[in-house]
Structure 1
């Protein structure tokens, strides 16, 4: 739409809603909500829509709705945490209205891009939304597990708007398989469990809502309980603080690291990414990211590093910067709820950092120092901690989102410094009920055999209640202390972490050299630049097709299996595909000079007529191309005749059709029927959120694919 058309549509919509509100016979208070749905595009790096452009798109709509007097903003059917964040930011920056957010969870209890309810609650509560929930995708029974998780973690009202089950087809008529009575009974149970706002999505009608009202209207809502989870997240992983100590990898930091400083100066992101991959392999739970170095643009470097790191690791990140501008830029782009390192007791620091945490969410590291420096006594550090908590509360930031660093000082300069720090850890834990973190290695500065001191200090700190440690994951002494402590304290079920650690430990205490990275592992880890670099080197000694068949395809297969078994999620699948694409581009360029080709066969794909959603189709395209197929992408809203024309022209053995909207499923049926009649050699594979195996069988499709990898497997079966 043009800006003028959008304005007119929203104005008329609000006017219609206001008229309906006026004519309604109900005596209850009524509100008008501006409904904001997804853009239909994947955000970078998984797609081509820039994050800030997405914020701009949502903002335009929300500002118009606010102008015409809506009472609240409801952001719904979001299946990507990053796009959800963009919409919430747009709402916060465009108006001061209440914000309700409901996401579309799949059968595995996660969003399309991997987030589970714990991840979404942490991010959305951190950003200050007013209600959190689920809508669309499935029926109320299938989403009951998701609702249990939302109720477990959320301290704000929970919303539930499921579909009327799943779509089915009888005699050309599409219907949903959950009746109004059954739907209402299921919704009643959810209200009894604590859900506060209910409704219906696809397949529901006024009859469904009436039945729900009849069964729930007299129920007394359960009180909303404040939860006290201290948590950070990536786009798909939540790390909780307060029980088992958390390891924060310290190696993405230039302090004392000549090679890392060189990488920053040369903007060698690849080195930083490799360091992240190495630390994750050593078992850390969070990665500290510090790129502060004189002479570089820290704001740009930190933001770029965060975005690139989230392409290759699913670990939460600790954003480590004393520059508020750099911190805000990185927090804005971060997909999840980050650790913020750090704030301190100085008034200037608190007034700079806490507004950022309030806006973007975060779990803030608070240093027990102020304008007078670092107190030498436990009492002095406790007073600063109390002052920080009081100031945080002024911004609406709860103590569960503060983790104190009581500051480990070197014992070689003051023999009692470690005692002071350890006692402060204990008192903050017991008296303030807060989490604590330490940069452990500081304690041994200036001493020989530092790892001996570090490991002992770490063990005593954990016994005193330490929640997390910023540490060197390549130190065997530190890891020995950590895994042994967890066993002794009953924090390691069946001692499995300890057993795995001792079974897999290496005899060296340094990271695996970059030169040992293989093409297969580079693709599996999503390292695009490394994949291209290794491929170029391999071409001097290997035939191009051998590289494809013996290295690229096996890597994609390995990641694909992880995706199919739900061990990996869409972002990891797509970033591996991008790394494979980088390798393919090098191979294709090399083969072009010899007139060779790596194409296996042609596949025509399209989103069916009337449907403008193409995320799923685009994912299928990327994967098929990386497996060597020639993909003819007809785009979205494609008439059946255009699909047939392309299939006949290419004599394609396979056509893939996608539909997201129930109203466009008949167009898919018409397309399949036309292909079966006019191009009988062509197999059809169909997919989309509204489809099922039963429906695919009804319309005569040859294959129903629940996800993109299943389409690839079918292409291998049909074409080879």
Structure 2
């Protein structure tokens, strides 16, 4: 019934649970989920109020009810989840809405960042969600994964739901005003990845008010083919009398949402600060039918931070992470010297590749384990989407599972058994797949290759794979052995392109065995692009090949005003042809790229000729400052910032060993704490890592820290500054009490505050000396005030 209505009738979710519980007396530090057992009538009454206001969905009071967060509760998480669902069912009966309303199992973020930005593994995140779903999978109508900020956690959660139940999945992320999530995901990438994973609806919640969320929801509507949902906050909050107050009225809230409802939003509700009155106003809008949207069908692949569209343009896939014919790379893989792989990946990214092919197929290697490890390591340091290249279905599946994004899978062919083994993987993990136009042998004519392409496309359709998620490889044959058939390849590209399907070719195969291979490669590439080639697999460090693509884009009016061509080609040396792979990164470059395994030896080499303070002041700090500037500008994102910070910490450890017992070189100490009643410490942990990377000594008091503990730490350590974090609206008052207690000590050090619920105005209202919106601003503030 739900899936029949979804996307056709406008469906309404409930509003905030926390706001209602605060009104009822919930204190900072209380565990809301315990009320499912200790005060079930209160939870039932809130559900009833939302149902009576017109909500079609009620969300169970289980937002933080995962085993990790509930370690400190006096009740088992399973008991609280069961009680929450029972309360929702009773509420349906009380409101006489059993037959026409739905219960959503509400699952919020785990509360810890996943690797590499944090310490939680993908499998641990998967298990935590699986444990919640298995408790009541036969008793709810849908699973709502909400307020998510990490795409990797989203992927783990979706797989956990789909592999352990038959429930529909709705997922909403939070985005900041820069249209990025905490870990750097933009709306288009979010859509591309989670649609591929088979969610039933997607959208945005929390973060901001309806007015501020409008640009984000418009982007979701423009790219998503599944129903889109929105649950904004009741505007932006302020602090009044120690309480967080949302000023947007219910009618204003609904009026702000009229436009996005008219644009095709299928599900609407409220988040922080909203009440049953807000839901009642949404119901009064009397919007019943969902506007049907038309979304362009495009071939796309994604990393966790960016999406590359392959349709209707030339996109470069870097070929150099393939050990075939590369003795150095083969040796590095066999000896597990993976930094060689990372250096090669970085070099290709810097050279302008859009996608990187990753192949670890070396005889005698455990390909499944190595492929998985290499994929994880590469996505820690670069933002490009990856092409998972293997003839092993097991290696492809494992790589797809741990890949943070929508992968490009290389490949299938026309053999029935190959399609049977690969297409289920493509479907499950939402990848885009390359189809090779061969079966038992390589066909010689274009028509034969196109016939195989059609067979691949039709078979893929049986597995639920759309042709937009297929790229056809028409096979580049060598001109030295099959000269006549080279033209057939170009003809096949043109024919497949006319079918509305993207194409890929390994360009350099054409010149094998002939002199001046570069000349043949770039000529063939030009002809292939003119025939409609979308994805050449080439060496991006070959400036002549890359320049050929730049020129093609100018001539075909793809590079408007020749902007890219001018910027790139004006800096190219006329004599430069092919750039060698750069394997000798400087200490500065290693810090910028976060190469943790290389930093120690390179730092030691620098110290052989430079004084320790020179290394710190002239290399390490300037490099980290550049990283900080790129983070502020949105060039890199949180995972890369953390990698650079961790790398810098290793460098500092080497340098500090030269100072022996001289403590005067250390900065700080700085005391950090998440305030009493708040069990979230993601933000604090990020700040700690970044501060330590700048040489600060950090004393971390942890989360849910009592006021007196912070005061005692101040007396004991006499820090240069104190940083306080709060993520929950209910704990802002606790932060205020902590600041007041510290200032009673007289002439206390500067107090810095931060957290998702805080603003500069709130920070000022509660008596903080400085508000820092993120880790880098914390560093800048400390550097300024402690000079």
Which residue pairs with 2:187 in the alignment? 117
CA displacement at 1:305 relative to structure 2: 0.8
Which residue pairs with 1:582 in the alignment? 650
- Once residues 571 and 584 of structure 2 are traced to their aligned partners in structure 1, the CA distance between those partners, rounded to angstroms, is 18
Contact 2:250 2:278 in 1 (8 A): yes
- Once residues 494 and 486 of structure 2 are traced to their aligned partners in structure 1, the CA distance between those partners, rounded to angstroms, is 12
Which residue pairs with 2:613 in the alignment? 545
Q: Given the alignment of the two structures, is residue 708 of structure 1 paired with residue 779 of structure 2, yes or no?
A: no
From 690, 694, 719, the counterpart of 2:761: 694
SS in 2 for 1:102: strand
Alignment CA distance shift 1:159-1:13 (3 Å): same
- Once residues 701 and 657 of structure 1 are traced to their aligned partners in structure 2, the CA distance between those partners, rounded to angstroms, is 9
Contact 1:153 1:229 in 2 (8 A): no
Deviation string 1:132-173 (CA, Å, 9 cap, x unpaired) is 100001001111011011001000000100111121122333
CA displacement at 1:285 relative to structure 2: 0.4
Deviation string 1:391-441 (CA, Å, 9 cap, x unpaired) is 1111111000000001010111122211111111111110x2100000011
Contact 1:604 1:652 in 2 (8 A): yes
Higher RCO (CA 8 Å, separation ≥ 6 residues): 2
- Once residues 240 and 533 of structure 1 are traced to their aligned partners in structure 2, the CA distance between those partners, rounded to angstroms, is 40
- Once residues 379 and 711 of structure 1 are traced to their aligned partners in structure 2, the CA distance between those partners, rounded to angstroms, is 63
SS in 1 for 2:404: coil
- Once residues 431 and 584 of structure 2 are traced to their aligned partners in structure 1, the CA distance between those partners, rounded to angstroms, is 36
From 193, 197, 202, the counterpart of 1:127: 197
- Once residues 76 and 583 of structure 2 are traced to their aligned partners in structure 1, the CA distance between those partners, rounded to angstroms, is 56
SS in 2 for 1:568: coil
Which residue pairs with 1:49 in the alignment? 120
From 557, 573, 588, the counterpart of 1:490: 557
Alignment CA distance shift 1:288-1:474 (3 Å): same
- Once residues 171 and 475 of structure 1 are traced to their aligned partners in structure 2, the CA distance between those partners, rounded to angstroms, is 64
Under a length normalisation based on structure 1, what TM-score does the superposition of the two structures give? Answer: 0.97
Contact 1:157 1:224 in 2 (8 A): no
SS in 2 for 1:143: helix
Which residue pairs with 1:318 in the alignment? 387
Residue correspondence of structure 1 range 321-470 to structure 2 within 5 A: 321-370=390-439, 372-430=440-498, 432-470=499-537
Which residue pairs with 2:79 in the alignment? 8
From 274, 291, 309, the counterpart of 1:204: 274
From 661, 666, 672, the counterpart of 1:605: 672
Which residue pairs with 2:596 in the alignment? 528
Which residue pairs with 1:308 in the alignment? 377
CA displacement at 1:224 relative to structure 2: 4.2
Contact 1:105 1:134 in 2 (8 A): yes
CA displacement at 1:311 relative to structure 2: 1.3
- Once residues 538 and 427 of structure 2 are traced to their aligned partners in structure 1, the CA distance between those partners, rounded to angstroms, is 28
Which residue pairs with 1:22 in the alignment? 93
Which residue pairs with 1:562 in the alignment? 630
Alignment CA distance shift 1:515-1:130 (3 Å): closer
Unaligned 5+ runs, structure 1: none
SS in 2 for 1:246: coil
From 694, 702, 708, the counterpart of 1:627: 694
Contact 2:543 2:579 in 1 (8 A): no
SS in 1 for 2:207: coil
- Once residues 665 and 451 of structure 2 are traced to their aligned partners in structure 1, the CA distance between those partners, rounded to angstroms, is 68
CA displacement at 1:677 relative to structure 2: 1.8
Which residue pairs with 1:157 in the alignment? 227
Q: Given the alignment of the two structures, is residue 280 of structure 1 paired with residue 323 of structure 2, yes or no?
A: no
- Once residues 755 and 579 of structure 2 are traced to their aligned partners in structure 1, the CA distance between those partners, rounded to angstroms, is 43
Deviation string 1:97-132 (CA, Å, 9 cap, x unpaired) is 100000011111111011101100000011111101
Deviation string 1:337-392 (CA, Å, 9 cap, x unpaired) is 1100111111111111111111111111110111x311111121111111111111
CA displacement at 1:312 relative to structure 2: 1.3
- Once residues 447 and 173 of structure 1 are traced to their aligned partners in structure 2, the CA distance between those partners, rounded to angstroms, is 76
Which residue pairs with 2:713 in the alignment? 646
- Once residues 433 and 784 of structure 2 are traced to their aligned partners in structure 1, the CA distance between those partners, rounded to angstroms, is 51
- Once residues 253 and 178 of structure 1 are traced to their aligned partners in structure 2, the CA distance between those partners, rounded to angstroms, is 56
- Once residues 138 and 81 of structure 1 are traced to their aligned partners in structure 2, the CA distance between those partners, rounded to angstroms, is 19
Calculate the aligned-residue CA RMSD, in Å.
1.6
Which residue pairs with 2:131 in the alignment? 60
SS in 2 for 1:40: coil
Residue correspondence of structure 1 range 464-479 to structure 2 within 5 A: 464-479=531-546
Alignment CA distance shift 1:226-1:500 (3 Å): closer
CA displacement at 1:25 relative to structure 2: 4.4
Which residue pairs with 2:328 in the alignment? 259
- Once residues 380 and 328 of structure 1 are traced to their aligned partners in structure 2, the CA distance between those partners, rounded to angstroms, is 30
- Once residues 628 and 512 of structure 1 are traced to their aligned partners in structure 2, the CA distance between those partners, rounded to angstroms, is 35
Which residue pairs with 1:176 in the alignment? 246
Contact 1:303 1:330 in 2 (8 A): yes
SS in 2 for 1:624: helix
- Once residues 226 and 483 of structure 1 are traced to their aligned partners in structure 2, the CA distance between those partners, rounded to angstroms, is 29
SS in 2 for 1:110: coil
Contact 1:311 1:575 in 2 (8 A): yes
SS in 1 for 2:719: coil
How many residues end up aligned between the 2 structures? 715
Contact 1:133 1:159 in 2 (8 A): yes
CA displacement at 1:27 relative to structure 2: 8.5
- Once residues 35 and 287 of structure 1 are traced to their aligned partners in structure 2, the CA distance between those partners, rounded to angstroms, is 37
- Once residues 434 and 522 of structure 1 are traced to their aligned partners in structure 2, the CA distance between those partners, rounded to angstroms, is 40
Which residue pairs with 2:171 in the alignment? 101
- Once residues 436 and 253 of structure 2 are traced to their aligned partners in structure 1, the CA distance between those partners, rounded to angstroms, is 52
Greater mean deviation of Cα atoms: 135-144 or 527-536: 527-536
Contact 2:543 2:578 in 1 (8 A): no
SS in 1 for 2:537: strand
